[in-house]
Amino acid sequence: MLKRNQFGKDFKWGVTISAFQNEGWANADGKGASIWDTFTNNTSNINNGDEIGNAANFYKQYEQDILLAKQIGLDVFRFSISWSRILPNGTGSINNEGIDYYNRIIDCCLSHQLTPYITLYHWDLPQALEDQGGWTNRQIVHWFLDYTQICIQHFGDRVKHWVVMNEPMTFTGLGYFTGYHAPQKKGILNFLKAAHHAVLCMAQGGRLIRNTIANAQIGVALSCSHVKPVDRKSKNVRAAKRMEALLNRFFIEPLLGMGYPIDVMPALKLINLIFKKGDDQLMSFDFDFIGLQYYFRVVARHSIYPPILFADEVPPVKRNVKLNTMNLDVYPKGLKKVLKFYTAYKKIKSFIISESGVCYPDYLVNGHVYDARRLKYHQMILKQIKKSRKQGIPVNGYFIWTLVDNFEWKEGFEPRFGIVHVDFKSQQRTIKLSGEWFRKFLHS
């Protein structure tokens, strides 16, 4: 039986949300357009033709949601800043109404004894910067540092925990390689430029925070997956190693000063075409913690496409495994395997599971949402964390994805990850069975 005290008194219990997915009110109070505003304006880009509208209405209902987090018993509230709400054009004039809004969120967290964790970048790049090349333009390093400095100046007196960037592999891979996400760019060169510039921004952003805010705790949040080959054939084993390099090694190794994983992906030497003198030093930083975001397992096989990777995933729907709403492989045991993988990097001081969750259909019946499968997922994830801590792996926090149901990017409103149900027409909140379990567990 799981008990809170089994994780230690200093273990951090939190929840994560993101600005674009939760806030809504895209044009309110001086906010500029982001690439995701542009993307979702064309509803044909979104599953079921969903219109984002005011998303989960966090812009107006932030006090209610923060209070819910407190009532459930959490002690960390991780949220992201909308860059274009602070700087409508990405650079230049500051939108003071945006500054005031995030100050109110921070103050609300502190008034409820919730520690605010700020994520500086969670995918919603200002459209004005994308018009100049976005993440493929090296100038973005300067744009990002200017934006970071503004956030430090206005929020750093009360916020000591900073996540510089969220899932760089996801927004560079899906946004600049496959074109599945905003801003719908494609091609290996676009991806390599965007990825390298993201590495530079994470490292230099971390340095800027450390040099400015005393006693700051600084990290990044990296997506990760347990990767295994479809069988023991050598070509599939090698394919899995390449997939693992892309999904689990590509960003952590340069940030640790190890360079990119060209040992199993020699074609990544193409990234040298993007390097400038001194980048080797600029792209590493000694983070206080690494956030790992775990959702699914990947079974890899050899493939002639995509080039350079020469590997793809065996679709979960063809593997007779448990699936979530997004047809992803639900495999909580993979978290322990991923943690063991990352523990090999001796420079990592501490881990936080900065996101994990699962989406299933939910139904509100007589004022209750019985989401037993989501509850079981979180319980199994916590068991993997408990086992990992017993083995000496420094996992020091678990942040639930997510508090309330929200807008799941291209997938729209159908995938529900929240431990609190949202009726998107009325914006009424109802704590689900999973949320009630966490409330009992965290107050025990």
From 23, 167, 244, 253, active-site residue: 167
CA distance linking residue 147 with residue 32, whole number of Å: 14
Q: What is the DSSP string of 421-441?
A: EEETTTTEEEE-HHHHHHHHH
What SS3 state is found at 225?
strand
Give the sign of the dihedral formed by CA 174, CA 184, CA 125, CA 172: positive
CA distance linking residue 316 with residue 172, whole number of Å: 23
DSSP state of 153: H
Give the tokens for residue 75. Answer: 């002690």
Cβ-based neighbour number of residue 227 at 10 Å:
25
Q: Based on the residue annotation, tell me whether 97 is a catalytic residue of this protein.
A: no
Spatial CB neighbours of 99, under 8 Å, sequence gap ≥ 6: 86, 154
Q: Based on the residue annotation, tell me whether 63 is a catalytic residue of this protein.
A: no
CA distance linking residue 90 with residue 211, whole number of Å: 23
Of 260, 261, 259, 257, nearest in space to 285 by CA: 257
Of 281, 265, 287, 373, nearest in space to 324 by CA: 373
CA distance linking residue 82 with residue 249, whole number of Å: 28
From 244, 253, 355, 408, active-site residue: 355
Q: Please report how many Cα atoms fall inside a 13 Å half-sphere around the Cα of residue 19, on the Cβ side.
A: 27
Identify the helix (H) or strand (E) that includes residue 385.
Answer: helix 372-390
CA distance linking residue 196 with residue 312, whole number of Å: 23
Rg (CA), the chain: 21
C-beta of residue 413 within 8 angstroms of C-beta of residue 425: no
Of 194, 192, 202, nearest in space to 284 by CA: 202
Alpha-carbon distances of 232 from 242, 261, 264, 298, 302, rounded to whole Å: 15, 22, 17, 15, 12
Would you name the residues annotated as active-site residues?
Answer: 167, 355
